[in-house]
Amino acid sequence: MYTHMNTHTAARGKRILAMAISLLLLLGVACSSDGAGLPVEKFMDSTAGYQYPGLPWASSQEDTAKVIPMEEKGDSYGGGQIVYPARQQFTLDGQTASGEAEFFKDKLGSLEFKFVLGSDDSEWYEARVEDLTKLYGDPEERSETAVGNGEKYTWRKGDTQLQLYSVPSAKKLTVSIKLLSTAVIGQ
């Protein structure tokens, strides 16, 4: 009887352990699928201007992929411009964005993070305007976008920019946060 009870207890313990491991793995997958947090509070480097943390302007595609995993193939445009989509999603205050890196003559020139929201999520956008203004001061420029009644805010430091813009439609609001180097783009 003692042996039977010990075997039964051991089997029960193994099942509990297996369930606990499965639960931890499931939670790990769920947490990792949310995407990387977008570090907007770290977009300013005191010497380099606006840039993604740990990713200097004019980086190669290979060096950029070490910081932001990207697809192996990008879309080519005239003048040596290639855009690579990020293989990961980015999150900011409960919303998820896709990302892309744009290279000019094989040098990183811009990064864009695009959020597609519901048409009634304008409060989220307004909160981003407030957050970026608190972090980086008043934008140097505010303009209406060509499409619809969207708007664009631009912060500048040297030859770098941080842009926040919105493009509304009847069913959605597209919000983009873009970092760019005019020195790389203008080469």
Residue 177 has a pLDDT of: 98
Residue 147 has a pLDDT of: 55
Residue 10 has a pLDDT of: 52
Residue 9 has a pLDDT of: 54
Summarize the chain as % helix, strand, coil (round to 5): 35, 40, 30
Residue 77 has a pLDDT of: 78
Residue 26 has a pLDDT of: 33
The phi and psi torsions of 161 (rounded to 5 degrees) equal: -140, 150
Residue 121 has a pLDDT of: 82
Rounded Cα distance, 139 and 156, in Å: 8
**Average pLDDT per consecutive 10 residues, the chain (187 residues; last block may be shorter):** 53 44 34 71 92 96 96 82 95 96 95 92 91 96 74 95 90 94 91
Residue 49 has a pLDDT of: 95
Reported pTM = 0.78
